Amino acid sequence: MSEYKHILFATDFTSLSMNIAPKVKKLAELYGAKISLITVLEETSIYGYPGISEKDSSVSEQVQNAMVEFADKIQVPRERQYIEFGSVKGKVLAYAKSINADLIVVGSHGRHGLARLLGSSANAIVNGAECDVLLLRASE
């Protein structure tokens, strides 16, 4: 098994992410690795509704607050908390590369949570990543 130094945890702040956060923290402690968090808001519109825009300050503020609260629970400093707008797959892969992540962690619970949000992008992350990808299932 690789020696992980930098783990990128892709989160959507759902209960799924909250349930796997302790596992990610424990993994980081085991390897002495640092954790970075990323959440991605897609700007595309779905079913005729406008997409989330980076300029939507109320959404941006809500997401920022959720990020800070989530990061505090697993002790991730502000400089390693990232909020991106665009393609989940593209942003996660690009950020993993830019920070030299050794491991990308994504939560999975059947068709719920981030795995559902990613849809076919989950496969693209696994196939497109230049580092290991770990899919964690939450406990019931």
pLDDT, residue 41, reads 86
pLDDT, residue 48, reads 47
The string of DSSP letters for 15-82 reads HHHHHHHHHHHHHHHHHT-EEEEEEEE--S-BTTBPPP-TT-HHHHHHHHHHHHHHHHHTT--GGGEE
pLDDT, residue 86, reads 86
Nearest Cα neighbor of 36 from 60, 61, 5, 14 is 5
Question: SS3 for 89?
Answer: helix
CATH architecture group of domain 6-137: 3-Layer(aba) Sandwich (3.40)
Sketch the domain layout of the chain as residue ranges: 6-137
> Does the CA dihedral 48-59-11-124 come out positive or negative?
positive
Task: Show pLDDT as tens, one digit a residue, over the chain (140 residues).
Answer: 568 999 999 988 888 889 999 999 999 999 999 999 999 987 654 454 455 555 555 667 888 999 999 999 999 999 999 999 888 889 999 999 999 999 999 877 555 555 455 555 666 777 889 999 998 876 65
Question: SS3 for 131?
Answer: coil
Sort residue 17 into left (φ over 0), alpha (ψ -120 to 50) or beta.
alpha
126 contacts 133 by C-beta, under 8 angstroms: yes
Cα dihedral 79→56→52→65 (10° resolution): 40
21 contacts 74 by C-beta, under 8 angstroms: yes
